[in-house]
Amino acid sequence: MPDLLAFLGDPTVLIVGAGAVLLGGVAGGLGAFAVLRRQSLLGDAMAHAALPGVVVGYLVSGERSAGPILAGALVSGLAAGLAALHLSRLPRIKSDAALGVSLSLGFALGVVLLTRVQGSAGGHQAGLEAYLFGQAAATLRGDLLWLAGAVVLCTATMVVAWRPAKLTTFDREYAAASQVRVRLVDALLTGVLALTIVLGLRMVGVVLMAALVVAPAVAARQWSSSLLGMVLGGAAIGAGSALSGALISASAPGLATGPLIVVVASAVAGVALLTSRRESQRA
């Protein structure tokens, strides 16, 4: 028991655990809209497209400063998300194709810039590769303030825009006929999702961040028949999965936190799919 108390009282464990809960909760809640809108790849596209912004932020600031790096990631990720949404509205381009192009192009550009920076003098010491798979142990108290602010902002956005977001999610034609500004709602949801993804890059990384958005929402979809239930369920599953992955990683040195969080969230989604009786009840 003393060892357990000492482990749970470790400042690093507390900071990483708190950050994981905040990140998993907001990502899982917002993921409900992405899954129901059949835009699960949108989070993946923005996460991968954030990589060039990370590198450009480093080049502009000249140092590995979180502010410029995350600002660059937000700009490039959001630009990729909005571009994908615009392309998907064109008559000859389907949404999955538009998202795939944005994902591949953004990540390819990021890898090119990353290898260029690492090949320059002193570039190999920049540590930018940590943004590929995350480095949760580097989470600081200041990062918790940013994550908490994102949670407040995203929650406030969903509360204020709940009705138009719900209408555009289930019936875009009716929403447009009801004078709902559909494109504005799309941009708003894309913006808060991009912010969440960018803040999660340090902990989970660009490669796996999308899974933390989608997996909890998929699990909640199996156990809930309402949008509110899915949002709250996704937030709870995301927070629980992130905390579990962080604690497992902290108790077993050498295991990366980001991948473990995704493994736990995916396992919960798998259990949900196996235990759900939604289809049998419909039959």
Domain boundaries, the chain: 2-120+132-268
CB neighbours of residue 237 within 10 Å: 27
Residue 164 predicted with pLDDT over 80: yes
Using alpha carbons, list the distances in angstroms from residue 156 to 78, 80, 189, 226. Answer: 20, 24, 12, 20
Q: Which residue reads 């615009």 in tokens?
A: 86
Given a contact cutoff of 8 angstroms between Cβ atoms, the answer to whether 45 and 106 are in contact is yes
Residue 106 predicted with pLDDT over 60: yes
CATH classification code of 2-120+132-268 = 1.10.3470.10
Q: If 0-12 CB within 10 Å is exposed, 13-18 middle and 19+ buried, where does residue 38 land? A: exposed
**Mean pLDDT across 209-221:** 91
pLDDT digits (tens, 9 = 90+) for 221-275: 998 888 999 999 999 999 999 999 888 888 877 788 888 999 999 999 999 998 8
**How much is the pLDDT for 124?**
52
- Residue bearing the bigger pLDDT, 175 or 254: 175
DSSP state of 65: -
pLDDT digits (tens, 9 = 90+) for 107-119: 899 888 888 887 7
| Nearest Cα residue to 115 out of 128, 98, 105 | 128
pLDDT digits (tens, 9 = 90+) for 55-99: 898 888 877 777 788 888 889 988 888 888 787 777 777 777 777
| Nearest Cα residue to 194 out of 104, 64, 82 | 82
**How much is the pLDDT for 280?**
42
Question: What sign does the CA torsion over 223, 167, 164, 44 have?
Answer: positive
Q: Helices 227-251 and 209-223, interaxial angle, to 10°?
A: 130
DSSP string of 101-151? Answer: HHHHHHHHHHHHHHHHHHHSTTGGGS-TTHHHH--GGG--HHHHHHHHHHH
* Percent of all residues in the chain with a pLDDT value above 70, rounded to a whole number: 92
pLDDT tier for residue 283 given thresholds of 50, 70 and 90 = very low
- Residue bearing the bigger pLDDT, 75 or 126: 75
pLDDT tier for residue 6 given thresholds of 50, 70 and 90 = low
* Distance separating alpha carbons of residues 68 and 53, to the nearest angstrom: 9
* Distance separating alpha carbons of residues 93 and 28, to the nearest angstrom: 28
Given a contact cutoff of 8 angstroms between Cβ atoms, the answer to whether 51 and 239 are in contact is no
Specify the range with the lowest mean pLDDT, choosing from 31-45, 115-129, 138-152: 115-129
pLDDT digits (tens, 9 = 90+) for 22-59: 999 999 999 999 888 887 778 888 888 888 988 898 88
Mean pLDDT for the chain?
83
